[in-house]
Structure 1
Amino acid sequence: MAGEHSTADRFGGVLGPAQRERAWADLGSQRFDVVVVGGGVVGTGTALDAATRGLRVALVEARDLASGTSSRSSKLFHGGLRYLEQLEFGLVREALRERELMLTRLAPHLVKPVSFLYPLTNRVWERPYTAAGLFLYDTMGGARSVPGQKHLTRAGALRLVPGLKRDALIGGIRYFDAQADDARHTMTVARTAAHYGAVVRTSTQVVGFLREADRVSGVRVRDVEDGRETDVRAEAVINCTGVWTDELQRVSGSRGRFRVRASKGVHIVVPRDRIISESGLILRTEKSVLFVIPWRNHWIVGTTDTDWELDLAHPAATRGDIDYILDHVNTVLARPLTHDDIEGVYAGLRPLLAGESEETSKLSREHAVARVAPGLVAIAGGKYTTYRVMAADAVDAAAVDLPGRLQPSITDQVPLLGADGYHALVNQADLLAARHSLHPYRVRHLLDRYGSLLHEVLELAADRPDLLKPLDAAPDYLRVEAVYAASHEGALHLEDVLARRTRVSIEYPHRGVDTARQVADLMGDVLGWDEATRVREVEIYLARVAAERASQTQSDDEAADASRVAAPEARPALAELP
Structure 2
Amino acid sequence: MRAVLTATPPPRPIDRTALLDEIRQHKRWDVIVIGGGATGLGTALDAVSRGYRTLLVEAHDFAKGTSGKATKLIHGGVRYLAQGNIGLVRESLRERELLLHNASHLVWPLGFVVPSYSHLDTAFYGAGLKLYDAMAGRDSLPGSRILSASEAQSAAPGLAARGPQGTLRGGVLYYDGQFDDARLAIALMRTIIDLGGTALNAMVVRALTVRNGLVCGVALEDTESGERLHAVADCVINATGVWVDAIRRLEDPAALPMVAPSQGVHLVVPRRFLPGSHAVLVPRTNDGRILFMLPWGGHTLLGTTDTARSDLPLEPVPGEAEIDFILSTAARYLAAPPTRDDITSMWAGLRPLVRAGADMPTRAVSREHAIRMSPGGLLTITGGKWTTYRRMAEDTIDHAIRHGLLPPRPCRTAHLRLHGAPEGAGNVYGTDAPHLLALPGADVSLTAGGGLTEAHVRFAARYEQARSVEDVLARRCRLLLLDAASARAAAPAVARILADELEHGPEWITGQLATLAATAQIYGNPSQNCLQGDATGDNTADAIISAGEHNG
Name the TM-score, length of structure 1 as normaliser: 0.85
Contact 1:14-1:194 within 8 A present in 2 as well: no
1:46-445 → structure 2 map (5 Å cutoff): 46-104=43-101, 106-124=102-120, 126-141=121-136, 144-168=139-163, 169-253=168-252, 256=255, 259-283=258-282, 284-285=284-285, 286-358=287-359, 362-400=364-402, 405-419=407-421, 421-423=422-424
Separation in 2, partners of 1:248, 1:206: 8
Does residue 1:38 correspond to 2:39, yes or no?
Answer: no
Q: What is the aligned partner in structure 2 of residue 437 from structure 1?
A: none
Q: What is the aligned partner in structure 2 of residue 545 from structure 1?
A: 520
1:502: Cα distance to partner? 0.6
Separation in 2, partners of 1:404, 1:155: 58
Q: Give CA deviations for 1:529-553 in whole Å, capped at 9, x if unaligned.
A: 1122112211221122235548799
SS at match of 2:231: strand
1:261: Cα distance to partner? 1.1
1:298: Cα distance to partner? 0.7
Contact 1:499-1:506 within 8 A present in 2 as well: yes
Contact 1:77-1:178 within 8 A present in 2 as well: yes
1:401: Cα distance to partner? 5.9
Contact 1:257-1:372 within 8 A present in 2 as well: no
SS at match of 2:451: strand
1:141: Cα distance to partner? 1.0
When residues 164 and 92 of structure 1 are mapped into structure 2, their CA distance, relative to the original with a 3 A threshold, is same
Separation in 2, partners of 1:273, 1:154: 20
Separation in 2, partners of 1:385, 1:357: 27
1:257: Cα distance to partner? 7.4
1:475: Cα distance to partner? 2.4
Separation in 2, partners of 1:474, 1:232: 47
Contact 2:341-2:525 within 8 A present in 1 as well: no
When residues 550 and 299 of structure 1 are mapped into structure 2, their CA distance, relative to the original with a 3 A threshold, is closer
When residues 51 and 360 of structure 1 are mapped into structure 2, their CA distance, relative to the original with a 3 A threshold, is farther
SS at match of 2:352: strand
1:462-477 → structure 2 map (5 Å cutoff): 464=440, 466-473=441-448, 475-477=450-452
Separation in 2, partners of 1:184, 1:62: 18
Separation in 1, partners of 2:187, 2:300: 24
Separation in 1, partners of 2:493, 2:449: 10
Separation in 2, partners of 1:79, 1:358: 27
Name the TM-score, length of structure 2 as normaliser: 0.88
Separation in 2, partners of 1:188, 1:36: 17
Look up the equivalent residue of 2:247 and give its one-letter code: L
Identity of aligned residues (%): 37
Separation in 2, partners of 1:14, 1:364: 40
1:477: Cα distance to partner? 2.2
Separation in 2, partners of 1:313, 1:96: 31
1:142: Cα distance to partner? 6.3
Separation in 2, partners of 1:73, 1:552: 24
Contact 1:23-1:199 within 8 A present in 2 as well: yes
Q: What is the aligned partner in structure 1 of residue 429 from structure 2?
A: 450
Q: How many residues align?
A: 512
More helix by share: 1
When residues 96 and 15 of structure 1 are mapped into structure 2, their CA distance, relative to the original with a 3 A threshold, is farther
Contact 2:281-2:293 within 8 A present in 1 as well: yes
Q: What is the aligned partner in structure 2 of residue 442 from structure 1?
A: none
Contact 2:481-2:523 within 8 A present in 1 as well: no
When residues 194 and 223 of structure 1 are mapped into structure 2, their CA distance, relative to the original with a 3 A threshold, is same
Separation in 2, partners of 1:450, 1:102: 16
Separation in 1, partners of 2:338, 2:243: 35
When residues 383 and 493 of structure 1 are mapped into structure 2, their CA distance, relative to the original with a 3 A threshold, is same
Deviates more, 1:302-311 or 1:69-78: 302-311
